[in-house]
Amino acid sequence: MYPDQFEFHRADSVSEAVELLADNPDAELIAGGHSLLPTMKSGLASPDALVDISDLDGLSGVERNGEVTHLGAMTTYATVADDDDLWEDATVVAEAASQVGDRQVRNRGTVGGNIAHADPASDLPAAMLAANATVHVHGPDGERSVEIDDFFQGMYATAAGEEGVVTGIDVPEEGENTASAYVKKPAPASGYALVGVAARLTFDGDEVTDARIAANGVMDHGTRLPAAEDAIEGESVDADAVAVAGDAAGDSLDEYMVMEDQQASQEFRLQLLSAYTERALETVGERAGHM
């Protein structure tokens, strides 16, 4: 309940934040604080210093250019979840944001903080994978963009590295022939995903021409499900194809690396993965008017 002492820096710029992080290996970045502060209160984390970037100009807000929607890293889940246009343009991201934590958490937690933290059971990673997002990172060597497929590297580990600051996320807008969804089985106590499945399908008529399907809660980080994608591509989203894709969902995963805890065994997680992959695909199919 009582965090240890730390120094508090409010960064005036992203560059300053990057410098502060580089100078102090035991410093942590704080954005919305809803991942970090609970671990500090429980004594699991005890950083020497916090670098606060929540007030930085330009890091917050939603912008559009007709092709991508840019989410400033400090944009809260609530802002994303309440953005009607995003529900049109990148449904899966808005839907995942709407399912993070609870209302109070969504009012403070940020999308940048979420993916930078890379909690394997949080909701945004799979959604960003399905949406084929691009992450903007400002590190000691300057600014760079990271494809979302290269971003998540392990439990709490990302391509941003310890000293990089996630400054924003670009989410491509779904075209007319694309639809997406995020469905989730929450752990009853924490609300984190036992399994969460994000799917984005592009259609030519009834036929799925491109599928991006990803899962949270199953592996040590948000993960694409290529076997499910292969199974649904070239098919129409009917009950049989959905069932085949659901069955295939776990095929591309290393079974031994599947998460296991008191909430769910590996075997049951894979079962939920199948069931929720089916639900995600059904939902997308319905949204696209194909089911």
Give the binding site for other proteins (CB under 8 A).
1-8, 30, 33-34, 37-38, 40-42, 50, 52, 54, 78, 101-105, 107-108, 185, 187-191, 262-265, 267-268, 271-272, 275
Cβ nearer to other proteins, comparing 7 with 147: 7
**Under 8 Å between Cβ of 110 and 122:** no
Q: How far is the CB of 56 from other proteins (least distance, A)?
A: 13
Long-range contacts of the stretch 38-41 (C-beta < 8 A, 24+): 40/3, 40/4, 41/1, 41/2, 41/3
Cβ nearer to other proteins, comparing 3 with 226: 3
Cβ nearer to other proteins, comparing 185 with 212: 185
Question: Hey, how many other C-beta atoms are within 10 angstroms of the C-beta on 140?
Answer: 12
Q: How far is the CB of 196 from other proteins (least distance, A)?
A: 14
Cβ nearer to other proteins, comparing 69 with 79: 79
Q: How far is the CB of 237 from other proteins (least distance, A)?
A: 19
Cβ nearer to other proteins, comparing 135 with 272: 272
Backbone φ and ψ of 156, nearest 5°: 60, 25
Q: How far apart are CA 201 and CA 241, in angstroms?
A: 13
Q: How far is the CB of 32 from other proteins (least distance, A)?
A: 9
Q: How far is the CB of 234 from other proteins (least distance, A)?
A: 26
Type of residue found at 241: A
**Under 8 Å between Cβ of 136 and 170:** yes
Question: Hey, how many other C-beta atoms are within 10 angstroms of the C-beta on 23?
Answer: 11
